[in-house]
Structure formats: C-alpha cells, structure tokens
A and B are shown apart, each in its own frame.
Chain A
Amino acid sequence: MAKKLQGNVAGNDVYTAVLALAVLSVIASSVYVAMKCMQEYGTILSIVK
C-alpha cells in the first residue's frame, strides 16, 4: 500500500512538471511577444496603429 502510494506520488510529480513546463512556455512566449510588440510598436495593445 505504501509502495503503491509512493508510486502514484512520483507519477503525479511528472505530470506536474509537464504542466509547469507548459505554463513556463506560455509565460515565456507571452513575455517574448510583449517585448517584441513594445520594441516595434511601442505598445502591446495594438499591433498596427
């Protein structure tokens, strides 16, 4: 029972890591796009005036 519970926790950490990676990817992409928009257009709300 204890081993089974220990195995489930380890499996859950993997999925958590995958979700964290996805969240970090989304955040990094958002930051990159925001910086790109600020650099080229001066704002992040409109792409073309």
Chain B
Amino acid sequence: MSAFTKILTVLLSLASIFLCGAVVSYVASTNNVKAKYDQLDSDYKVLQSSKNVATSRANEIQAEADNQVSKLKEKLAELEVQKNSMMVELTNAQNTAVKWQDRVNSWAGVVKSFEQTISDMEKSLSATRTMLSEQQIKNIELSSKLNEMTTSLDEHIVMLNSLKSEKRRLQEQLASLEQQVNGSAATAVTQLKDKAMPATAPAAYMPITGLVTEVGANLVSVSVGSSDGVSEGMKFHVTRGTTFICDIVITDVDTNISVGVIELKKAEPKSGDTVSTKL
C-alpha cells in the first residue's frame, strides 16, 4: 500500500467519522417537527371548525338581524302611517276644539246677556212687587174709606127713612086734623110714634180691635174671639202706632182668641201690636 493510499484511507476514515458524528448530533438535536405539525394541524382544524361555527352563527345572527330590521322597518312604516293618521286626527280635533271654543264663547256671551236680562227682570219684578204692595195698601185704605162711606150712607138712608116715616105720620096727622076740622071722626091710619130716633150703624160695620198675643212662623194669635164677633175668613190689619205691619186672615176662632195667617207683610209683627178690622 502506498503512502498516498494510506494517507487517503486515514483522511477518508476520519472524514466519514466526523460527518457521521455531525449528522448524528444534528439529528439528535432536531425537535419533533411532526408532533409540532400535528399539534398545529389539530389546532388549525379546531380553529377552522370554530371559525365555521362562528361564521354560521354570525350568518344566523345576521339573518335574524336582517329579519328584525325588516320587521322593524315594517313596524316603522305602520307607525309612520298611524302617526300621519293621528296627526290628521289631531288637526281635526284642534279645529273642532277651536270651533267648540268659539261656541263656548258665544254661549258665554248669550248666558251673560241672559243673566243681565234675568237681573233686570228680577229688579223689575221686585219693583212691581213693591208697587203691588203699595197698591194693595192703598186698596185697603180705599176699602176702609169705602166702608166708612158705606156706613155713613147707611146711616143717612136710615135717617132718610125715619124722616120719610115722620113725614108720612105728619101728613096723616094733618089729614086727621083736617077731618076733625071738617067734623069727621075718622081715625088715623098710622100709629103715632113718640120720636124719630137716628138709626144705629149695622153691627157688621163696627170695627173689632184687639192685640197680637203671640207670633209664630207664619201664624199670629190675637186677643179677640167669637165673643167679639170674629169669624173665620175675617181679615184684620196689624198696625204699630201709625205704621202698617201686615194683614191677618183668621183661620181658627175660639171664644176669646183667634189665630190667623199673615199676608202682605211689610214688617215683622210683635206681641202687643194692634189688630183691627178697620185701619
């Protein structure tokens, strides 16, 4: 074996040993790439499935959201329509309210005019009532004067009748005297009366006077009764001094007391006021 062959053999052996060592050390130091790949691949698959699930879920949510958006749009359209109709109704209601307000104002004016008219009529009524009361008082006074005049006239009629009977008696007496003068013995037709007497006034025209003894709500009792000639329906005039108070129409009569209803009240009667059938 030549020296070159020997050297070449040794160098090749050392080189092969060195290379083998390098390869072994490299392979030993390398990581498990397949396991890492498998792990990464499984992770990738899991992530891919998660992505698919999330994508499907997102699609479902998107579809649901689109559906809800469409429903909300429909509701929005309906609400818009309702809003428009409500606006129209509101406008109509406002117009109606304005019309009714005008009517209310006109009716308020009418009511005010009616109230004014009613107050004027009430004033007129009160004035008419006052005038009526005054007229009734005057009527009572005139009726009392008429009674007095009637009484006086009756007295004069009675006196006239008595004078007529006296005249007739004197004529008969004259005739009998003439007959006596003429020698005739005729007797007088009419009996001779002693004296002509003035006629007394009828009892109905005699005034009955008494006092108020008790005053109730609308009833008054007086101190004269049937023994004084009081009868039901008789009207008494109540006076205090020279002031006319009211009238009393007798509704219940006892022997010495009577009860009547107040009429034409000008003032409140009191106990002690004078009552009379004649003013």
Q: How far is the CA of A15 from the CA of B4 in the complex (A)?
A: 12
Q: Which residue of B has the minimal Cβ distance to A39? A: B32
Question: Could you mark each residue 21-35 of chain A with 1 if its beta carbon is under 8 Å from any beta carbon of chain B, else 0?
Answer: 111011011001100
Q: How far is the CA of A22 from the CA of B24 in the complex (A)?
A: 14
A to B contact number (C-beta, < 8 Å)? 52
Q: How far is the CA of A21 from the CA of B12 in the complex (A)?
A: 11
Instruction: List residues of chain A with CB within 8 A of the CB of B23.
Output: 29, 33
Q: How far is the CA of A48 from the CA of B32 in the complex (A)?
A: 11
Q: How far is the CA of A8 from the CA of B37 in the complex (A)?
A: 57
Q: How far is the CA of A26 from the CA of B12 in the complex (A)?
A: 12
Q: Known interface pairs A12-B1, A40-B32. Does A25 touch B17 (Cβ–Cβ under 8 Å)?
A: yes
Flag if B20 contacts A29 (CB, 8 Å): yes
Interface flag for B195 (CB, 8 Å): no
Flag if B24 contacts A33 (CB, 8 Å): yes
Interface flag for B189 (CB, 8 Å): no
Q: How far is the CA of A23 from the CA of B12 in the complex (A)?
A: 10
Instruction: List residues of chain B with CB within 8 A of the CB of A25.
Output: 16-17, 20-21
Instruction: List residues of chain B with CB within 8 A of the CB of A48.
Output: 33-34, 37
Flag if B13 contacts A18 (CB, 8 Å): yes
Which of B6, B27, B32, B34 is A33 in contact with, Cβ under 8 Å?
Answer: B27
Interface flag for B48 (CB, 8 Å): no
Question: Could you mark each residue 1-30 of chain B with 1 if its beta carbon is under 8 Å from any beta carbon of chain A, else 0?
Answer: 100001001101110110011011001100
Flag if B34 contacts A40 (CB, 8 Å): yes
Q: Which residue of B has the minimal Cβ distance to A15? A: B9
Interface flag for B35 (CB, 8 Å): yes
Q: How far is the CA of A26 from the CA of B32 in the complex (A)?
A: 23
**Which residues in A have some Cβ–Cβ distance to B below 8 Å?**
8, 11-12, 15, 18-19, 21-23, 25-26, 28-29, 32-33, 36, 40-42, 47-49
Given contact pairs A22-B17, A48-B33, enumerate 18 new A-B contacts (beta carbons under 8 Å). Answer: A11-B1, A15-B1, A15-B6, A18-B9, A18-B13, A21-B13, A22-B13, A23-B16, A26-B16, A28-B20, A29-B21, A32-B27, A33-B24, A36-B27, A42-B34, A47-B33, A48-B34, A49-B37
